[in-house]
Each structure stands twice: as C-alpha cells, then as structure tokens.
Amino acid sequence: MNATEEPTLLRALPTDPSAARTLRRQRAAGRLVRLRPGVYVRTSEWEALPPAARHRMLARAIIPELRASDVFSHMTAAVLYGWPMLGAAPDRVHVIDLDATSTTHREGLVRHAPQRAVPLESTHRFCDIRVTSPMVTAVLVATTCVPSTAAVTIDHGVRSGTVDPAEFGRALPPPPARGSRRARLVAAALDARHESVGESYTAIRLVELGVGPLAPQHEFRLPDGSIRRVDFWIPSLGVVLEFDGRQKYVDPTMLAGRDGAQVLWQEKIREDQLRALPQVRTVIRVTWWHLADPERLRTLFRQHGITI
C-alpha cells in the first residue's frame, strides 16, 4: 500500500513564497492541477491517471491536514486496497476521526465520527496514516454506497481472499441500523467464484431483481463428455446467463491468437450446444448497457420469454 510509483506532488511551502508563486503561475497556465491549497500535480500526469489513482493522489495530498486520530475509511480505504469501483471515484477523501462526536463535511474531506455498530479495526497504513481493515472497510462501503457500487468493490476483496463473505455477513449492523438493508443485498451477491467486475455487477443486479439462487461458474457436461462452463446458471428459471464484455473480442490475452470473428463464431456454437441440453431453457447474454439500469435487465429477460 505505497505511493512510490505515482506522480510527484508539488507542494508550496510557507517558507518559500517564491516557489509558491511559481506553482500558482504554472497552474494558471494550465500546466498544473490543484489538488489542495498549495498542493499540485502536473496536468499531463493527472490526466493520464484512472479515477482510482486520482483518488489515491487526493488522499496523499491531504495527509498533512489530517489529525493523529484520523483513519482512512469508507471508499477511500477501498481504493487504497486496490479494490475496483463503478464510475467516478469520490471527489472527497473519507476518514474516521476517533475523537469526533459528529460527521463533518468540508472541501475535499469527509470526517466521520466512529460508528458504534461497526467496531473499528485499523492495522494497515498508507503513507503512515492508518487505514480501516478490509473487513471494516467492506462494512462501511456496504452500508453507505448504493448496492451495485458496493458489491462490485467488495466482491474484489472476496475474490482476492481478503474479505470472508460469512464473516462479512456477521459483521453487518442489524436492522434498523442505517444502511443495514442495502448491505444485506450486497452480502447476498458476494461470491469468490465471480471472475470479473462484470460478473460481480451482474450478480448484484440479479439479486436486486429477486432472481436466484445463482450458481456462478457452473459446469455442464455435453453428450460427448466435454465440459462447458458458464458465468451463471439459474436453475429455477432454466437460464444460462453470460456476461458479454467487449474485452472478450478485443483483448489479445483473451483472444489467444484468434480474431474477433472466430471468437464470435465459437461462442455461437457454444450457445447452440448449451441450448440443446434438456435443462436449459435459454441462454441470455448481458452487457454493461443492460446492467446500467435494472429495468433494462428485466426487459432483456422478458425478450427471452422469462418473466422476473
């Protein structure tokens, strides 16, 4: 959990007003981006960073303003652990102040009071600042973020073995605590067998729509004895569901020497084999577009003759 390979932060020191003026002029000229008062990064480097890396930079930039009682938390902690996110990263850094009695918001920073329902653990550090443990981070994300965002983030922790789903379920605050209901939706969607962000996203959308139980990475044996593994098998509906990301058709590591047309043809043959099985009613392919809105996913099922 280090920042040695990230862009250099340029800080205006009170003891060097000349350098501070130079930094302000460079910012005015568009060569620098201001992260905090007196803290800058080169524009070219900032624009090259993905959202999560930008949030890490914000966390680094704000460190001199933090208190000894502050602990990186919530989605900020998740980013520091390298867990993925849906959409843009938070524009404010989140910390828990162990001495605070109420949550405060100011430019670039949310300082949370400790939650009694979530026992705090902070054994990890980022740039010498404590970070909530993976389990505490998962609980905080699940109880404060929308389920789709939380599930994609936390499922990575499950997949990497840093969050145990059963322990996570036990750690959730009981109803009617704030966020407890949405957190339980998230818990129902977590599974170490999900192999990608797209599969995590698919699982939480299905849970939100009341579809289940789900069997991730289910294997079917064909009449010739060969095996076909699918992203999801929904036995109650007789539905095979595959997440169909664009990467499958353009990523050289996934193409394995084939071109996109070959992959598409092989996928068609594979689908025909699955549909021929007596227990399979249909095969549904889900894309990012369908997952962006649960009603789009519901409509997709309906187009295949499945009512959910």
**What pTM was computed for the model?**
0.90
How large a percentage of the chain has pLDDT more than 90?
A: 82
Lowest mean pLDDT among 177-181, 235-239, 297-301: 177-181
The predicted pLDDT at position 255 comes to 46
What's residue 231's pLDDT?
97
Residue 137 has pLDDT above 70, yes or no: yes
Cα 229 to Cα 220: distance, rounded to the nearest angstrom: 6
pLDDT tens figures, 48-60: 999 999 999 999 9
Burial of 14 (0-12, 13-18, 19+ CB in 10 A): exposed
Query: What would you measure as the largest C-alpha separation in the chain, in angstroms?
Result: 78
Q: Give the pLDDT band of residue 6 (cuts 50, 70, 90).
A: confident
Helices in 190-259 by DSSP H: which ranges? Answer: 197-208, 247-250, 252-255
Q: Give 253's pLDDT tier (boundaries 50, 70, 90).
A: low
Query: Using 50, 70 and 90 to split pLDDT, how confident is the model at 222?
Result: very high
What pLDDT digit, counting tens, does each position of 69-99 carry?
Answer: 999 999 999 999 999 999 888 999 999 999 9
Cis peptide before 14 (omega within 30 of 0): no
